[in-house]
Amino acid sequence: MTEAAPGQLRDLVGRLEALADRRLATRPRSASASARATQLRDHLRGHVRVRANSLDAPLLVLILGPTGAGKSTLFNTLAGRAASTTGVLRPTTRVAVVLMHPGDREALLDGTLVSVGADRLQLVEDDTIAPGVALVDAPDIDSIEHTNRELADHLVESADLCLFVTTAIRYADRVPWTVLGRVRERGLPLVVVINRMPADEADRREILTDIERLFVDAGLIDTMASGRDARIELVGVNEGDIELATESLRRSAIAPIADRIEQLRRDREARVELAARALAGSLAGLGQFLDTIADDCEHEAIDVDALLRTANHHYERELISMRDELGRGTFLREEALRHWQRFVGADQITRLFSQGIGRVRGVISAILRPAQAPVAEVRAATTEDLLAVARLHAAEAARRTATGWAEDSTVATAIADDPGLWSTSIDFDDRLRARLDTWINGIAADIQVTGRPKQLLAWGASIGVNVIGTGVVLGTFIHTGGLTGADVGVAAATAFLNQKLLSALFGEAAMAELIAHARSRLDEALAATFAEELARFEGLVPDSGQLTGLAADLRQAAADTRNLPSGLPADLRTVLAARTPAAIPGEDEPRPRVDRSQ
């Protein structure tokens, strides 16, 4: 035994709680994965933390089972009063009814019950019972109301002992194995109470044998058959007469259970032993549970990657097909091209070009009349036409991505709930327009840089940087090399003249460089806008790297949990029990054995 053991456990619990919170923050994608994450958090907070702090904190004995099994009747009988509503009208128990000594109230509300909402608790305080054991009547685990089942599940995570109530009449179709599976998984000590047993000895034996067989089939047997320390015990309770005033049975009818509770109330050592057993069960189950949650995270990371690949694929494909379309210049409206063609194709210029570029440079500025250049018109038309093409392609990518994602159950709801995801986002035009403005201004800046060493600034000033810039803008889309035989007409003619003009001003190489630079910056602007569109989808799923990182941390924690000193709960028993003065009268009395055939 080491004093360090409880500290080591508490440190681990802190780490595990942080992992549970991280897992919940990733919004688990399936109902079962989500339930596991919630169970881990509830279990750590409501049980492991509480027990790591004290094995002496009040025990939580949970009465659990399907509707109509007689849980509330059992509870009332143990409480000695009609504390919990019983009856055939369902559902009757919507809250957790807690019978406790007033002295245990604070420890329970700050510990085991800390995360159960006050509105879900009905506290029944009784100062005539001994402190140390709280008895809880849970809502039905098969309640049609989701919040009732949720509360019952929550209590399973906190309890130290589960009294699972079923009836001799309908046990076969009334044992909800999922809950018992979790009880087993988290190592919660379990007593199965078979209510309303017939008086006939042979009938009783038959029922018990049959129930035992069901537990074998459900894989719960290995913990059942091993005798005195078995985690599952079967206890039969005879059919009794209901006392209407107290909605309960005669106490003698439930003697085996009443004796067990009484024993725990009387004997501190028995309580500490049960608390240690519950904690040991928890610690034994945690490693596997953490690994399962790590599996969940890894599976999700794979699913998320697949979804992201689909989305990326559609946006990339549309971006490529849009680039292709832009490179052919066919998206530009003819009207604007015609105006530009008239401007750069003035008779004299065409004639000058035919005389050789070197000689025309000096006179171009004299011939071109910047005031007549349809700069604003071409610029506006180009921007609008570009926007229209981009919008079409982005909308197509969105539609294809949404269609694909709608097939995936984990994001289907998010996709269905947001009609905006099926098209471009509302501010698509604004964002792209702003980028295109920046792009065009960037071209003007490029021209000034390119023009300086060639002493073109003076020309630029007289022709107008904006005019030349418009030529470069158009040159990005229409160029003789990119036009095929089919694309004759105004685009081809304009491309030819536009190129002549630009190469006359800058020379072939500098012109090509200007245009290449403009094209790549346009690509960036479009890609950035598409990336923002894609981000709307990416925002719907957790980051897959975050999920794999979390999985790795969970696996490490699982290993650390397995590496806890094996005798730790016993160590805790010694360390924690040593802190509190014992001396509750009667604690040395032998513990009565519960007879399985009762």
What is the binding site for ligand GDP (CB under 6 A)? 65, 67-73, 86-88, 92-93, 140, 195-196, 239-240, 242, 249
| 211 versus 290: smaller Cβ distance to ligand GDP | 211
Burial of 371 (0-12, 13-18, 19+ CB in 10 A): exposed
Choose the contact partner of 329 out of Mg ion, ligand GDP, none; CB within 5 to 8 A by kind: none
* Residue 240 near which of ligand GDP, Mg ion, none (CB within 5-8 Å, type-dependent): ligand GDP
Q: How far is the CB of 165 from Mg ion (least distance, A)?
A: 9
User: What φ, ψ does residue 191 adopt, rounded to 5°?
Assistant: -120, 125
Q: Are 47 and 154 in contact (CB under 8 A)?
A: no
Smaller CB distance to ligand GDP: residue 240 or 542?
240
> How far is it, in rounded angstroms, from Cα 66 to Cα 32?
21
SS3 annotation, 225-244: CCHHHCCEEEEEEECCCCEC
Q: In angstroms, rounded to a whole number, what is the distance separating the alpha carbons of residues 583 and 461?
A: 101
Chain centroid offset of residue 407 CA: 18
Tokens of 90: 């369902």
Q: Least distance from C-beta 253 to ligand GDP, angstroms?
A: 7
Closer residue to ligand GDP in complex, CB, 133/152:
152
Pick the closer one to Mg ion by CB: 138 or 283. Answer: 138
Q: Give the shortest CB-148-to-ligand GDP separation in angstroms.
A: 11
Nearer to ligand GDP, 224 or 249 (CB): 249
Smallest distance, ligand GDP to C-beta of residue 82, A: 11
**Of 31 and 88, which CB lies nearer to ligand GDP in the complex structure?**
88
In terms of CB distance, is 38 or 195 closer to ligand GDP?
Answer: 195
Q: 3-state DSSP call for residue 87?
A: coil
Among 85-93, 389-397, 466-474, 495-503, the segment contacting Mg ion (CB under 5 A):
85-93
In the complex, the smallest distance separating the C-beta of residue 203 from ligand GDP, rounded to whole angstroms, is 15
Name the residue with tokens 């700069």. 375
Choosing among Mg ion, ligand GDP, none, which partner's interface includes residue 68 (Cβ < 5 to 8 Å by kind)?
ligand GDP
Q: Does 73 bind Mg ion (CB under 5 A)?
A: no
Mark the segment that binds Mg ion (CB under 5 A) among 63-71, 255-263, 331-339, 487-495. 63-71
SS3 for 489?
A: coil
Radius of gyration of the chain (CA): 39
Least distance in Å: CB of 165 to ligand GDP? 6
Q: Provide, rounded to whole angstroms, the least separation between the CB of residue 134 and ligand GDP.
A: 18
The contacts found for 372-375 with CB under 8 angstroms, 24 or more apart, are: 372/343, 373/343, 373/464, 373/466, 373/467, 373/470, 374/336, 374/339, 374/340, 374/343, 375/464, 375/466, 375/467, 375/470
249 binds, among Mg ion, ligand GDP, none (CB under 5 to 8 A by kind): ligand GDP
Residue 410's binding partner among ligand GDP, Mg ion, none (Cβ under 5 to 8 angstroms by kind) is: none
Q: Which is nearer to ligand GDP, 78 or 568 (CB)?
A: 78
The answer to whether 364 and 352 have CB atoms below 8 angstroms apart is yes
Cα–Cα distance, 345 to 367 (Å, whole number): 11
Q: How far is the CB of 578 from Mg ion (least distance, A)?
A: 40
Please identify which residue in 93, 282, 310, 529 interacts with Mg ion, judged by CB under 5 A: 93
DSSP class of residue 511 equals H
Which one of ligand GDP, Mg ion, none is in contact with 73 (Cβ closer than 5 to 8 A by kind)? ligand GDP
Least distance to Mg ion from the beta carbon of 90, Å?
A: 9
Distance CA 365, CA 348 (A): 12
Query: Could you tell me if 500 and 352 are in contact, meaning their C-beta atoms sit under 8 angstroms apart?
Result: no
Choose the one of Mg ion, ligand GDP, none that binds residue 69, judging by a C-beta under 5 to 8 angstroms depending on kind. ligand GDP
Q: Does 498 interact with Mg ion (rule: CB under 5 A)?
A: no
Residue 93 CB, nearest distance to ligand GDP (Å)?
6
Burial track 84-115 (b if 16+ CB lie within 10 A, e otherwise) = bbbeeeebbbbbbbbbbbeebbebbbebbbee
Cα–Cα separations (whole angstroms), residue 332 to 324, 490, 538: 13, 10, 33
By the rule CB under 5 A, 72 interacts with Mg ion = yes
Q: Which is nearer to ligand GDP, 253 or 360 (CB)?
A: 253
- The least CB distance from residue 257 to Mg ion, in Å, is 16
Q: Are 244 and 229 in contact (CB under 8 A)?
A: no
Select the binding partner of residue 195 from ligand GDP, Mg ion, none (C-beta < 5 to 8 A, by kind). ligand GDP
Residue 463 · residue 368 · CB < 8 Å: yes
- 195 or 499, CB closer to ligand GDP? 195
* Residue written as token pair 């471009």: 424
**Of residues 239 and 543, the one with the C-beta less far from ligand GDP:** 239
* The pair of three-digit structure tokens given for residue 253, joined into one six-digit string: 């009818």
**Quick one: tokens of 175?**
């044992």
Q: Which is nearer to ligand GDP, 67 or 410 (CB)?
A: 67
Least separation in angstroms between CB 237 and ligand GDP: 7
Least gap, CB of 140 to Mg ion (angstroms): 6
Closer residue to ligand GDP (CB): 90 or 309: 90
Among ligand GDP, Mg ion, none, the one that 242 touches (CB under a kind-dependent 5 to 8 A) is ligand GDP
Where does this chain touch Mg ion (CB under 5 A) — which range of 9-17, 69-77, 127-135, 203-211? 69-77
Q: How many residues of this chain interact with Mg ion, rule: CB under 5 A?
A: 4
Please give the order of strands across the beta sheet that includes 190-197: 121-125, 96-100, 133-137, 59-64, 161-167, 190-197, 232-238
**Would you give the DSSP letter of residue 423?**
S
| Residues contributing to the site for Mg ion (CB under 5 A) | 71-72, 92-93
